Amino acid sequence: MGPRPGKKNVFICLMFPILYLLNLMELQKFTQDPNFSWWMVLVPCYGFYYGLTAVPAQVEKAKQMAGVNAPRQSTILYLIVPSYALAVDLNDIAQ
C-alpha cells in the first residue's frame, strides 16, 4: 500500500464557482438585460444548458455594446472552464 494522499483544501474547489457567479452578476449589471438572470446557472441540469447557450450569447451582446471587436471564447472553453472563459471575455470588455 502506498502513502495516503494529503487533505485537500475544500475552499479552493468552492472558489471558482463563486467567482463565476460574481462575474455573471457583473455581466448582468453591464448589459442590464432583464431576460438574463445569473441565478439560472444554479438550477440543476438547466444551468448547464443555460451556461453553454445564454451566457456566451450575453457575452457577445456585451462585447457589441462595448465596441469590442475580439471574438468571444469558444463554447468548448465555456464547457471545460467556464469561470476562465467568462473572465477572459469580461477582461476584453473592460479594456
Q: Residue holding cell 473572465?
A: 87
CA distance 78 to 65: 21
- pLDDT grade for 50, boundaries at 50, 70 and 90: very high
Q: Is it the case that residue 54 has pLDDT exceeding 90? A: yes
Residue 43 has pLDDT above 60, yes or no: yes
Check residues 56 and 4 and name the one with the higher pLDDT.
Answer: 56
In this prediction the pTM is 0.82
What separation, in Å, do the N-terminal and C-terminal C-alpha atoms of the chain show? 53
Position 18 scores a pLDDT of 85
- Residue 50, Cβ neighbours under 10 Å: how many? 18
Residue 80 has pLDDT above 80, yes or no: yes
Within a 10 A sphere around the Cβ of 95, how many other Cβ atoms? 7
Contacts of 21 (CB under 8 A, 6+ apart): 38, 41, 42
